[in-house]
Amino acid sequence: MAFGIPVKVPLVKDTISQEELLALSDWLRTFPRLTKGELTVEFEEKWSTWQGSKYSVFVNSGSSANLLMFYALLLSGRLKNKKVIVPAVSWVTTVAPAIQFGLEPIVCDCDPETLGLDTDHLSKLVEEHDPAAIILVHVLGFPNKMDEITAICNEREIVLLEDSCESLGSEYRAIKTGNFGLMSSFSLYFGHHLSTIEGGMICTDDADIKDLLVSLRSHGWDRDLPNAKQKELRAKYGIDDFRAFYTFYHPGFNVRSTDLQAFLGLGQLQKADSVVESRNRNFLHYDAAINDHQYKVRQREGTLVSNFCYPLITDRRDEVVNALTEAGVDSRPLVCGSIARHPFWYERYGHADLPFADIVHDNGMYIPNNHEMTDAEVEYVADVVNSVL
């Protein structure tokens, strides 16, 4: 099969450049502190500035970010009950913490226009269950319908969490995704927009939640908290400064990242805007070049899609996958399809009626997009897809 340029087109390319690795090597030769230290704090502060949030907490993965968000919410005392609405089209570690911490997850169908929460189904679930919290995913960088979702949350006093691991830099009405809920998570895994090899970030504008996240990140002690918060806790529980070294106020974790990862993150942040611009440009190029198919998810008015990978939803998926494989182009299922179709879910909760999530599960896939893709590569991939569609 010939489409003009015989190339291998991977899902991701090297997010961390050779120059960044050389800079890391030079830094390592200064024998710096490698575990969490001053560079982590600097990275968190600069991330907050770029993202537009008050506080950021650096952890060892986007999955750990989700874990900490749920646990901080549980310990904060802000849940009116144990019910939480989760998105059908998401990722296992978006949903798993709700199960692991004994909450009651309720699955919501997928919106054909955004791949996020279907707001009609969401409204019905809210009326039926009156949940305490909602977590959403901006799937592949497509912002959810945030006006409708935040209105529901405000009206019913529901806490909103955002999984923004695939949507770094996406915007809804000129506001970056990750700035609409109490907390938001980001992934800095190798294959994502920016990379610290492994890593994740949690953003919030709430100082109390930030302090709780910081404590939970490191065992539940107070070592990384502001001095005023340390004094408050020690006075409350009668802890002297010596005993405070190993006093634990919460049953925490160790999900810290390192200053090595923070060093990489500081370099990655310098190109964040150009990465977002490139991914959006490639998405729009794909949108113009690929034939219409069963469902074509587009950039809606008032949004900017910092696209993780380009989605295809077609009942000819197997043919498209075979053609792409033969042409040397990577592809994957559209994230996990429907969470409700996975054994960990249906063996606990049974099968759910989720019409569009089922379509995504059976017919959804995605094709490469990354900030180093060339116009020629986008055209090449589009030609392969169009040969089937």
Catalytic residues: 192
| Cβ 252 vs Cβ 221: under 8 Å | yes
Distance CA 63, CA 166 (A): 12
β-pair type (133-137, 303-304)? unpaired
What is residue 246's three-state secondary structure? helix
Residue 268 — left, alpha, or beta (φ > 0 → left; ψ -120 to 50 → alpha)?
Answer: alpha
- 310 pairs with which residues across the strands? 367
Phi, psi of 227 (to 5 degrees): -55, -40
Residue 70 identity (one-letter amino acid): F
If we measure between CA atoms, which residue out of 221, 224, 273 comes closest to residue 251? 221
Instruction: Give the pair of three-digit tokens for residue 218.
Output: 């490191």
| Number of other residues whose CB lies within 10 A of the CB of residue 79 | 17
In SS3 terms, 173-222 reads as CCEECCCCCCEEEEECCCCCCCCCCCCEEEEECCHHHHHHHHHHHECCCC
CA dihedral sign, ordered 336, 339, 345, 347: negative
Give the residue carrying structure tokens 């309720």. Answer: 106
| Contacts of range 340-347, beta carbons closer than 8 Å, 24 or more positions apart | 340/88, 340/107, 342/92, 344/92, 344/96, 344/99, 345/95, 345/107
